[in-house]
Amino acid sequence: MSRHSGQDLPHFAVVGRPNKGKSSIVATLARDDSVHIAARAGSTTSTRCFPMQVDGETLYELIDTPGIQRARQMLAWLHANCADAAGRPAAVQRFLDEHADQEQFADECHALAPIVAGAGIIYVVDGSVPFGGDYEAEMEILRWTGRPSLALINPIENSDYVQQWTAGLGQYFQTVRTFDAHRAEYRKQLDLLTLFGHLDPEWRQPLQRAVSVLEADRLRQHQEAGEIISTLIYEGLTYSVEQAVPEGAPEEPVRKLLFHRYQRQMIKRERSSRERVEELFYYRDLHKSEQGIEFEEEDLFHQENWYLWGLNRKQLLIAAGAAGGVAGGGAGVVVDGMTGGLLGGLATLAGGIGGAVASTRGVLRRSDDIARWTVSGVPTGGTRLAFGPSRNANFPFVLLGRAMQHHRAISQRTHAVRETLKLDSPALDWLEDRERRQLARIFEDIRRDKRTSERRAELTAMLQAWCRDVDGS
């Protein structure tokens, strides 16, 4: 339940022709990925209100409206039924009253009803198509309402005609801005709210408060994301599985079971961390979008990609050396404290269950590249077999790289985007050598349960700073 009644809230009707990006604007400014966006013109057939809420408080509301279809006919009626400029808002109201039940003007009535009820106007056009005089009828109708207004040029395909639109719209609207709903930076969204506050004195204070609340919320999002990623890396450095093996029973089936359990649990923990970060940034339907997420969870154990997500060979050698020599094979390294030697190559931990999680004998033998096997006796007979924690020098960097790349993509993505989320570029190239060495020392201390609380706090602080830096990059 909103803590506001809604009567004193700033609320904006997003209007314009069909298929010009109105719903995309609403989704971005309301931070709501449930807004229906379709390539088909006229997909919005009625008004729907989307509140911008933080911690249960509604800061403002966006109203998605159908596209105006018959502006010329409506404007002709207005001219025939209004004698002077002072009566224009009342004339628009009379038009709605007289045509509310007529199918012919259903879209116009839906679009204008919230405006005559007190909403501000956000008029949306497509900057990739030419300006035309036929748009002037609908712009004139919006001017007749007398409500505060601004126009947004949304360059859907390109920005070829933005200058034309800027000149034409300036004849009808108090303010004109170019606003790409798919690429609008976080700060540009806040600037738009501040701008609208200057158009209506009654809304200046509530919109200033909205900006302050959103800025504080943005900081909270980055801080909590850093904590989530820190916990994931800690779990990757400390998680292990174990199973009793009865006396005389073969060990290999148990090793397969434990290795699969280890992989699946780490995949589950990474997935859970990602979902929590997505929720922080108000993505509730990301997995339900048309194309989903091109980020296979099982890829966490595709070691041929570890140099992409984590550190490359040279970076890993330097970092591991700073930590005093960290063992790892396969996609990791073996660092000799005396010689600094670099051994091992790439190994693919793919195949098996669903073609994703390892299960073959050959791959199982490479499980030592991920973590250490230990065998201990059981007083009642038999042994206890354990796998983990991870001993691979690159594994925590892989978790870090994937998590930070995901955070960057999510935090910079607008809620209008319905494209596949891709995480396929080098993830940690932005790290400096000193930071890699510092991380390697932190990871090794956590592995050894040495100054763990202090090291976890240090790691969390670093991650939070990097998350905040996303907005300045």
Q: Of 285, 260, 222, 259, which Cα lies nearest the Cα of 418?
A: 285
| pLDDT at residue 143 is higher than 90 | yes
Rounded CA-CA distance 139/68 in Å is: 10
Q: 38: pLDDT confidence band, cut at 50, 70 and 90?
A: low
Q: Of 349, 313, 348, 351, which Cα lies nearest the Cα of 334?
A: 313
409 or 301, greater pLDDT: 409
Alpha helices in 31-87 (DSSP H): 71-80
Rounded CA-CA distance 212/209 in Å is: 5
Rounded CA-CA distance 348/361 in Å is: 13
The confidence score (pLDDT) of residue 185 equals 85
| pLDDT at residue 37 is higher than 90 | no
The confidence score (pLDDT) of residue 174 equals 80
Name the one residue in this structure whose structure tokens are 């779990």. Answer: 235
Which of 29-38, 144-153, 451-460 is the least confident region? 29-38
Q: Which two tokens stand for residue 290?
A: 């048309």
Q: What is the mean pLDDT of the chain?
A: 82
Rounded CA-CA distance 374/368 in Å is: 11
| pLDDT at residue 41 is higher than 70 | no
How many C-alpha atoms does 217 have within 13 Å on its Cβ side?
A: 21
Stated length of the chain = 473
The confidence score (pLDDT) of residue 23 equals 87
Q: Which residues pair with 13 in a beta bridge?
A: 63, 121
DSSP 139-177: HHHHHHTT--EEEEEE-SS--TTHHHHHHHHTTT-S-EE
Q: What is the pLDDT of residues 348-377, one digit of tens each?
A: 222 222 333 333 344 455 566 677 788 887
468 or 288, greater pLDDT: 468
Rounded CA-CA distance 198/148 in Å is: 10
Average pLDDT of the residues in 200-210: 91
CB count, 10 Å around CB of 212?
12
The confidence score (pLDDT) of residue 186 equals 87
Average pLDDT of the residues in 257-274: 92
* Angle, alpha carbons 109-155-285 (nearest 5°): 70
The confidence score (pLDDT) of residue 19 equals 78
Which of 49-53, 244-248, 420-424 is the least confident region? 420-424
Determine contact, residues 409/421, Cβ cutoff 8 Å.
yes
Determine contact, residues 459/440, Cβ cutoff 8 Å.
no
The dihedrals phi and psi of 213, each to the nearest 5 degrees, come to: -65, -40
| pLDDT at residue 329 is higher than 50 | no
The confidence score (pLDDT) of residue 45 equals 55
The two beta strands, 241-245 and 383-390, are antiparallel
Q: Which two tokens stand for residue 116?
A: 């005559």
- CA quadruple 90, 170, 121, 131: dihedral sign: positive
Average pLDDT of the residues in 35-44: 58
Rounded CA-CA distance 266/433 in Å is: 27
Q: Which residues pair with 64 in a beta bridge?
A: 14, 48
Q: Which residues pair with 360 in a beta bridge?
A: none
| pLDDT at residue 458 is higher than 60 | yes
The confidence score (pLDDT) of residue 358 equals 38
Q: What is the pLDDT of residues 102-137, one digit of tens each?
A: 889 999 999 999 999 999 999 999 999 999 888 999
The confidence score (pLDDT) of residue 2 equals 40
Q: Which two tokens stand for residue 209?
A: 């408060």
Which of 245-254, 295-304, 312-321, 377-386 is the least confident region? 295-304
Name the one residue in this structure whose structure tokens are 């679009």. Answer: 111
Average pLDDT of the residues in 390-418: 90
The dihedrals phi and psi of 126, each to the nearest 5 degrees, come to: -100, 115
The answer for residues whose C-beta is within 8 angstroms of residue 188's C-beta and 6 or more apart is 179
Q: What is the pLDDT of residues 266-288, one digit of tens each?
A: 999 999 999 999 999 998 876 54
Domains of the chain, first to last: 11-199 (3.40.50.300), 221-472 (no CATH)
| pLDDT at residue 223 is higher than 50 | yes
Q: Of 32, 63, 35, which Cα lies nearest the Cα of 48?
A: 63
